[in-house]
Structure 1
Amino acid sequence: MIPSLVSLCSQVVVSDHSSSPRWLSWVPRELYRPLLDAAFADCRPLAVNELVQRWPERALRVGGHRGQGPGRTGPNRLSVQAMLLAVVRGLSDPRCALKVVDLCGLHGDEGGFGDSMGGWSLTVALCSMVVQASNGAQRGRKKEGERERKRISALEREKDIKRQWQKGREANGEDVSSDRMCAVLAEEELIKGVRRRMEIERKQQSTLTGVAGTTKENEEKHQGSDVLVHVRADLFVNARSWERVHVALSTSGPLKLQCRYLRVEEISVSSIRTLLDLLPRKGLLGMDVRYSSLGVAGLAELLPLLSTFPALNSLRLHYCNLDFRRDHPGLEDALRDLSQGLAQLQELRRLSLTALRMPGQLRVLLSSLPQPLEVLELPYLSLSPADLAYLSCSHHASTLQQLDLSENRLDENTLPSIRRLLSNASNSLQHLSLSGCGLTDRLLRLLLPSLGICWGLKSLALALNPLSMAGLMDLIRMAVQMPSLRQLLYPNPLEDYQPGLPELPSSAHLLDWPLNDTIDISATSSQLNRVLMENKRTDLFLTCDLLNYDKDLMT
């Protein structure tokens, strides 16, 4: 992408911080956005701080979206910290017009490459910013109250002096003019008026505080009266940051933290409940629970809480210790509670269930959803033939845009259901993952016609399947005939591995088994890319890199 002239000029302007006092005084508001983009791109935290502190518009959007293109990264850590500090400073800057700061999608992955700020770090920084702004506002109110008290004390001292002067003149038999008497009375009335106004404000504040404690709606309204800037973000909370997030959400002040997507890790159901009670009912779009021992009973308790958020459209549960294989007396009741809880999620469109060990129970969960799903991720679920048969004929099949069935074993018994599912989803499906499903050359050849009719498919992941070079070539020849396909994650062919693999290796075998050093691995890539060139498909990206694969990279 060729940068515009405005972008090039903005980079030059923000590169010299010593000149900022000159250009900040005359730059028009229309140029603040390109200047801030240039400051972020060139890692100029000082310029970021000065621009945000006097931001001329009511809204500031600094969110990042994955999938904007290869090589795109968000602002670095120092720039984000400078921006947050500028938001706090802008509260007392009359030139700043900020009312909404939208940071949704800004964070990157924790521990990722580069110096971008991860989700956990950004959440902690946001909470510190909210508490810092609240403490600053309290100090400001104390100073204002102290100034008011000093002013009143000065008036009272002056009044006492004038009274003593008046008494002295009366004792000496001097006449006190009526104008002087009127002035003294006016000052007394002024002092009484100030006192009366302060007393009324104090009573009103205590009354509002008492009423606000009765209901959550009144509490949000009372707290909102002091809010100057609303900060929207995606929050990432774990056991280490829970207390800090709890304090920030409970704090009233000039900054109000709002959450779009809430991700929690390794915290209990009661702690999740506490966080949800502190979030505004409107605005929460997604909930992501990971590595938390919810259990079946905990999930049944969580779902009614989520139903109180009317805009919630995404629910992700990863490794939450849900085991439906155990035969215990309360299993049927728990399943019924889960079904009823899911039925209350009226806007749910994205559902991700990872490693929940629930063979044979897919119908119980998905049939209760009131609306058809658009995104369904079911990796490591040990799906049974009955589960896949239900899914292929369910009301979700024709609306699915993204489907992940990774690490669910497929064989000749389940293949008809998969083909029926792909046929019903052919008009809507855009992303499909069948990695680690045990697809052999023979199974893949039976499945290729069904894959080929998914004309809207943009990404296809088939890693860790035991395919030979012949099967891989069949896959590539089919892929080049799909006009919308932009990414293909293919498995290393069996010929590239060192000898000793089982006859039908599992995905775990293929993941851990070493590749053969005596074979030129790049020869496989060259052979596949030759097929692309022959069919003039330079827009199709092939990769076998499972760890760095991103289905949204080129969409």
Structure 2
Amino acid sequence: MVLSLVSLCAREVVSDHSSSPCWLRCVPRELFRPLLEAAFTSCRPLAVGELAQRWPERTLRIGGRRKRGQTAPNRLCIQALLLAVVRGLSDQCALQVLDLCGLPGDDGGMGDSMGGWSLTVALCSMVVQARAAGQRAQRKDRERERKRFSALERQKDLKRERGQLKREKEPNGDEASNDTLVGVLGEEELIKGVRRRMEIQRKKESALTGVADTTKENEENDLRSNVLVHVRADLFVNARSWERVHMALSTSGPLKLQCRYLRVEEISVSIIKSLLDLLPRQGLLGIDVRYSSLRVAGLAELLPLLSTFPALNSLRLHYCNLNFRRVHPGQEEALKNLSQGLAQLHELQSLSLTALHLPGQLRALLSLPKPLEILELLYLSLSPADLAYLSCSHHASTLQQLDLSENHLNENTLLSICRLLSQASSSMQHLSLSGCGLTDTLLGGCQALRTLALALNLLLPSLGGCQVLRTLALALNPVSMAGLMELVRMAVRMPSLRQLLYPNPLEDYQPGLPDLPSSSQLLDWPLDEATAISRTSNQLSQVLIESRRSDLFLTCDLLNYDKDSVE
């Protein structure tokens, strides 16, 4: 990545913190953004805090999709940013929206970056601290106003007393006027006494009935109406942090926490519902539920609440204990409620399901009013009937991203897959068939009876017909070196393809591997890294050179593969 002259100068400026008092006074607002980016890149938390506290624009966005090779912001820089936002509340800063959506990813990246859970906890602490600071400031303002009012009252009393003494000392004073003045003062004192007694009585009644104190109510109303900065972020909540998140979302103060994507782990349906009740109805775009024992009944109970969010377009359910392999009383009724609940999500565009064990029930899950653009069905034990329905459904022609990893494909299902790819040939951009048992031999062994058999013979032409396919993942499939070379030759003929996650050929593994290994065996079996890996890499590189495809990235690194890194 070639840096511009502005970026290079910005890095030099923020590198010396001792000079910041000089340039902070005169830096134009157009240079705040490159200076802040340079401070994040160079890990200068002090510069980040000073720039954020004086931010001249209404919106500050940190995050978003990172380019390949670009690291996530440092933890210290994020903490300095949050502290600066709280400090800037009392400096009449122009900032009104702090957007941290997309920062960071699920893992938080590598190195000393801040993970999603840590960022959520830090944001909630910032909101609560800002509320406490706002209450202290309001109490100080009220005390200052009370003292000013008391001083004015004392001055009025002194003037009134001086005027009365002056009239009494006058030799020709009018006695009638003095009597009138005394009568007026007596009436004022009487009115003050009545008001004082009414106020005391009202406080006693409030204490007896449990009504909150008037001053406290005024503070709450002021905090609720005086939101200074709206904080948008993707929240990551689990069993250890949900109480803190609940407190921050229900807190009224100068900072208002808003959620774009909500990820929850290991919490119950009731807690998820309580969190959703606190979120604004217009802001939530997606929810990701993981490792929570929802069961079919719990998910059916949750879906009606999700339908109240009109912009919700993404639903992810991973390892939520939805199992239809076992027969339970009321199972059919629960499935019907589940299907009806999903049908109420009118704007759903992305559906991701992992390890739900619902064989033969794909039709009920995909009876959605709007065709999907992203569909991920991992470890679902899909049956031939499921794949046949998917290939003929109204989703087939609109799918942009499809992940069928770890669903076993054979002669009975490949025809449906080919039909599906044919339907999505003009829309499919990302496809993953990792761990699906694809092979170039049907009967395996030392002497294969058939090479390049049904799997690749049918699948490769269908893959080649995908006109806009950009990433293809086929890792953990038992393919020989001959099958891999055929796959790469097909890939270089696809002009739109930018990234291929290819499977290690069987020849690259150490001896002892079964004839038709499973994906878990391929994942755990050691590779012959001394000679086989380098030989395979050289052969694939030669194919790229001969085809002049320098824009195609080949990798077998499953752990670091990222389809979103393709620009």
Query: TM-score, normalization: structure 1?
Result: 0.90
Opposite residue 436 of structure 2, the aligned amino acid is C
Larger deviation: 421-430 or 145-154? Answer: 145-154
Q: Which residue of 2 aligns with 1:17?
A: 17
Distance in 2 (alpha carbons) for counterparts of 1:444 and 1:7? 49
> Of 75, 78, 85, which aligns to 2:76?
78
| Mapped pair 1:533 → 2:545 | yes
Once the two structures are superposed, residues 78-132 of structure 1 have per-residue CA deviations (whole angstroms, 9 ceiling, x without a partner) of 11111111111111113x2111111100113436412111111111111111111
What displacement does 1:138 show? 0.3
Q: Which residue of 1 aligns with 2:158?
A: 161
| Mapped pair 1:376 → 2:375 | yes
**Is the 8 Å Cα contact of residues 169 and 176 (structure 1) preserved in structure 2?**
no
Once the two structures are superposed, residues 278-316 of structure 1 have per-residue CA deviations (whole angstroms, 9 ceiling, x without a partner) of 000001000000000000011001111100000000000
**Is the 8 Å Cα contact of residues 72 and 108 (structure 2) preserved in structure 1?**
no
Instruction: Please state whether the residue corresponding to 1:399 is helix, strand or coil.
Output: coil
Distance in 2 (alpha carbons) for counterparts of 1:525 and 1:478? 17
**Is the 8 Å Cα contact of residues 507 and 532 (structure 2) preserved in structure 1?**
no
Larger deviation: 533-542 or 518-527? Answer: 518-527
> Of 57, 82, 95, which aligns to 1:98?
95
Q: Which residue of 1 aligns with 2:556?
A: 544
**Is the 8 Å Cα contact of residues 166 and 176 (structure 1) preserved in structure 2?**
no
| Mapped pair 1:389 → 2:401 | no
* Pair 363,18 (structure 1): closer, same or farther in 2 beyond 3 Å: same
Once the two structures are superposed, residues 264-284 of structure 1 have per-residue CA deviations (whole angstroms, 9 ceiling, x without a partner) of 000100000010000000010
Q: Which residue of 1 aligns with 2:251?
A: 251
What displacement does 1:518 show? 5.8
Distance in 2 (alpha carbons) for counterparts of 1:422 and 1:176? 109
| Mapped pair 1:141 → 2:138 | yes
Instruction: Please state whether the residue corresponding to 2:385 is helix, strand or coil.
Output: helix
> Of 528, 535, 541, which aligns to 1:523?
535
* Pair 150,385 (structure 1): closer, same or farther in 2 beyond 3 Å: same
**Is the 8 Å Cα contact of residues 71 and 109 (structure 2) preserved in structure 1?**
no
What displacement does 1:11 show? 1.2
Q: Which residue of 2 aligns with 1:426?
A: 425
Larger deviation: 480-489 or 17-26? Answer: 17-26
What displacement does 1:374 show? 0.2
Instruction: Please state whether the residue corresponding to 2:309 is helix, strand or coil.
Output: coil
* Pair 462,111 (structure 1): closer, same or farther in 2 beyond 3 Å: same
Opposite residue 146 of structure 1, the aligned amino acid is E
Distance in 1 (alpha carbons) for counterparts of 2:150 and 2:329? 75
| Mapped pair 1:330 → 2:339 | no
What displacement does 1:167 show? 4.2
Matches within 5 A, 1:168-179: 168-173=165-170
What displacement does 1:162 show? 3.5
Matches within 5 A, 1:41-120: 41-65=41-65, 68-94=66-92, 96-110=93-107, 112-120=109-117
Opposite residue 37 of structure 1, the aligned amino acid is E
Distance in 1 (alpha carbons) for counterparts of 2:104 and 2:261? 12
Q: Which residue of 2 aligns with 1:413?
A: 412
Larger deviation: 509-518 or 495-504? Answer: 509-518
Distance in 2 (alpha carbons) for counterparts of 1:493 and 1:43? 42
Distance in 2 (alpha carbons) for counterparts of 1:426 and 1:462? 18
**Is the 8 Å Cα contact of residues 405 and 435 (structure 1) preserved in structure 2?**
yes
Of the two, which has the highest radius of gyration?
A: 2
Distance in 2 (alpha carbons) for counterparts of 1:269 and 1:295? 10
**Is the 8 Å Cα contact of residues 438 and 465 (structure 1) preserved in structure 2?**
yes
Distance in 2 (alpha carbons) for counterparts of 1:384 and 1:467? 23
Q: Which residue of 1 aligns with 2:450?
A: none
> Of 127, 131, 135, which aligns to 1:130?
127
Opposite residue 245 of structure 2, the aligned amino acid is V
* Pair 174,318 (structure 1): closer, same or farther in 2 beyond 3 Å: farther
Work out the percentage of aligned pairs sharing the same amino acid.
Answer: 76
**Is the 8 Å Cα contact of residues 286 and 315 (structure 2) preserved in structure 1?**
yes
**Is the 8 Å Cα contact of residues 11 and 38 (structure 2) preserved in structure 1?**
yes
Opposite residue 512 of structure 1, the aligned amino acid is D
What displacement does 1:327 show? 1.3
Distance in 2 (alpha carbons) for counterparts of 1:428 and 1:71? 28
What displacement does 1:163 show? 3.9
Once the two structures are superposed, residues 11-60 of structure 1 have per-residue CA deviations (whole angstroms, 9 ceiling, x without a partner) of 11111111111111111111111111111111111111111111111111
Distance in 2 (alpha carbons) for counterparts of 1:160 and 1:372? 77
What displacement does 1:173 show? 4.2
What displacement does 1:221 show? 11
Q: Which residue of 1 aligns with 2:147?
A: 150
Distance in 2 (alpha carbons) for counterparts of 1:373 and 1:517? 41
Instruction: Please state whether the residue corresponding to 1:395 is helix, strand or coil.
Output: coil
Matches within 5 A, 1:263-302: 263-302=263-302
Opposite residue 506 of structure 1, the aligned amino acid is S
Distance in 1 (alpha carbons) for counterparts of 2:262 and 2:288? 6
What displacement does 1:233 show? 0.6
Q: Which residue of 1 aligns with 2:341?
A: 341
What displacement does 1:516 show? 3.0
What displacement does 1:475 show? 0.4
> Of 471, 487, 491, which aligns to 1:475?
487
Distance in 2 (alpha carbons) for counterparts of 1:104 and 1:134? 22
Once the two structures are superposed, residues 461-504 of structure 1 have per-residue CA deviations (whole angstroms, 9 ceiling, x without a partner) of 00000001011111011000000111111111111112222221
Once the two structures are superposed, residues 366-394 of structure 1 have per-residue CA deviations (whole angstroms, 9 ceiling, x without a partner) of 02x01000000001000000000000000
Instruction: Please state whether the residue corresponding to 1:126 is helix, strand or coil.
Output: helix
Q: Which residue of 1 aligns with 2:315?
A: 315
Gap regions ≥5 residues in structure 1: 200-205, 207-219
Q: Which residue of 1 aligns with 2:444?
A: none
> Of 511, 514, 535, which aligns to 2:526?
514
Distance in 2 (alpha carbons) for counterparts of 1:388 and 1:549? 26
Query: TM-score, normalization: structure 2?
Result: 0.88
Opposite residue 74 of structure 2, the aligned amino acid is N
Q: Which residue of 2 aligns with 1:215?
A: none
Q: Which residue of 2 aligns with 1:488?
A: 500
Once the two structures are superposed, residues 402-428 of structure 1 have per-residue CA deviations (whole angstroms, 9 ceiling, x without a partner) of 000000000001111011001001110
Larger deviation: 374-383 or 68-77? Answer: 68-77
Opposite residue 457 of structure 2, the aligned amino acid is R
Instruction: Please state whether the residue corresponding to 1:445 is helix, strand or coil.
Output: helix
**Is the 8 Å Cα contact of residues 108 and 114 (structure 2) preserved in structure 1?**
no
Opposite residue 87 of structure 1, the aligned amino acid is V
Q: Which residue of 2 aligns with 1:202?
A: none
Distance in 2 (alpha carbons) for counterparts of 1:175 and 1:275? 79
Instruction: Please state whether the residue corresponding to 1:27 is helix, strand or coil.
Output: coil
Distance in 1 (alpha carbons) for counterparts of 2:172 and 2:246? 68
Larger deviation: 112-121 or 254-263? Answer: 112-121
**Is the 8 Å Cα contact of residues 64 and 74 (structure 1) preserved in structure 2?**
no
Distance in 2 (alpha carbons) for counterparts of 1:501 and 1:130? 56
Gap regions ≥5 residues in structure 2: 200-205, 207-219, 441-452
| Mapped pair 1:121 → 2:133 | no
Distance in 1 (alpha carbons) for counterparts of 2:529 and 2:12? 49
